[in-house]
Structure 1
Amino acid sequence: MKIEFTGRHVEVTPAIRSHVESHFKKIEHIFNDSTARAHVIIDVEKGRHTGEIILSWRDHTLTTRVTNKDMYQALTRAIDKLEKQALKLKKKIIDSKQNSRKTRAAKTASPAEEAVADATGKRPRIILARRYAVKPMTPEEAALRLSEDSDQFIVFRDAETDRVGVLYKRKDGNFGLIEP
């Protein structure tokens, strides 16, 4: 990791450099490659010591700024904030990669199919039961016909809109209508 220092109204001493570098060694494991670059800006104004760190890593920029009476405490807190931001970013990157793998796997099988496949060891098959003649009728006519049959649903073409609909029996005794 490359670290650059800039001092505004103050000279960057070797002690400050070693302090910052020792703290960055503790969080270097987060940035497991050498592409990370940090720019440390130290500013003193009216007794307020400000430590600002701008870190560039992989196409991301993390920025922290802390003001304190002591320069060393300001830099330590800024590095702590930077560590929290970096861990959050790294977790987000890892989660997005893992979720993309899950969505690729989900395209091949639905979660219900996976649960059944895990329980039985086989994937469920689609078995063609029978064919339906989709007749034009109103939803009310479909409800009358469904109440007469022992079937749980009926597929029909709506006579008014010419769309295909599905009417099914609900557990509460009513009928449910599915329209595209």
Structure 2
Amino acid sequence: MLKINVRGENIEVTSAIRDYVEKKISKLDKYLDSNANVTAHANLRTYPDKTTKVEVTIPLPYLVLRAEETSPDMYGSIDLVTDKLIRQIRKHKTKINRKSREKGYKHLDFTNENLDDADAEENKIEIVRTKNIAVKPMDSEEAVLQMEMLGHNFFIYEDADTNDINIVYRRRDGKYGLMDINEN
């Protein structure tokens, strides 16, 4: 059963908005395992320029579904986020079913109902290029400079101090993020 937690920032979540979010997101319940105890977190924001942002996150046992949409129409954003989540579920359902057949897993997170075989073919992942890279020791500032010089959105490097593999990336807000990859 899918539970829905609706939260608002700079907006009062009225019963009409809450009902609309719950109605739309509850459509996802038919794609999820009926035995799963899942909570969807919906975050609604309004900005001073009258745009709204809708973010929905659904943590599952081995996967986190997340979608966001920004537009002047909150209800339209809710519809678009729901569509994005359905596409993600279909894509991952196909991937999980393929892997489970290969490895012999019996438990799946998604049901087979309401998903077309055409979607499975459409969402097939095909790697069209493989690129080998040599990671060089450097600090994060140099890695950001290298990323900018190459015109990429991310850059992989070896941290000169820790010898860990790290990734710097450009965030949507134009700032930078750092992923520190720790080997277990």
TM-score of Structure 1 vs Structure 2, range by shorter chain: 0.5 to 0.7
- 1:37 deviates by 1.4
The one-letter amino acid paired with 1:87 is R
Query: Which stretch shows the higher mean deviation, 32-41 or 44-53?
Result: 32-41
Aligned-residue offset at 1:26:
2.2
- If you compute each CA radius of gyration, which structure gives the higher value, 1 or 2? 1
Structure with bigger helix share is 1
Q: Deviations over 1:128-172 (max 9, x none)?
A: xxxxxxxxxxxxxxxxxxxxxxxxxxxxxxxxxxxxxxxxxxxxx
Instruction: Select 1:75's aligned residue among 73, 78, 94.
Output: 78
Q: Structure 1 stretches (4+) deviating beyond 4 angstroms?
A: none
Distance 1:22 1:2 in 2: 11
Residue in 1 that maps onto 2:7: 6
**In structure 1, C-alpha distance between the alignment counterparts of 2:80 and 2:92, rounded to whole Å:** 18
**Contact 2:24 2:78 survives alignment (8 Å):** no
The equivalent of 1:51 in structure 2 is 54
**Normalized against structure 1, the TM-score is what?**
0.53
Q: State the Cα distance separating 1:7 from its structure 2 match.
A: 0.5
Q: Which residue of 2 aligns with 1:36?
A: 38
User: What are the within-5 Å matches in structure 2 for residues 29-178 of structure 1?
Assistant: 29-33=30-34, 34-45=36-47, 46-101=49-104
Q: Report if aligned partners of 2:7, 2:44 keep a CA contact under 8 Å in 1.
A: yes
**May I ask how many residue pairs the two structures share in their alignment?**
101
Q: For the residues of structure 2 that align with 1:90 and 1:60, how far apart are their CA atoms?
A: 11
Gap regions ≥5 residues in structure 2: 105-184
Question: What is the TM-score normalised by the length of structure 2?
Answer: 0.52
- Distance in 1 (CA, whole Å) between partners of 2:61 and 2:96 is 11
Query: Which AA in structure 2 matches 1:90?
Result: K
What does residue 19 of structure 2 align with?
18
Q: 1:5 to 1:31 in 2, by over 3 A?
A: same
- CA distance in 2 between counterparts of 1:98 and 1:3 reads 32
RMSD: 1.2
> Relative CO higher for 1 or 2, CA cutoff 8 Å, sep ≥ 6?
2
Deviation at 1:2, TM superposition (A): 1.1
- Cα distance, 1:35 vs structure 2: 2.1
Q: CA deviation at 1:81?
A: 0.4
Q: Give the fraction of aligned pairs with identical amino acids, expressed as a percent.
A: 28
**Which SS does the other structure have where 1:97 is aligned?**
helix
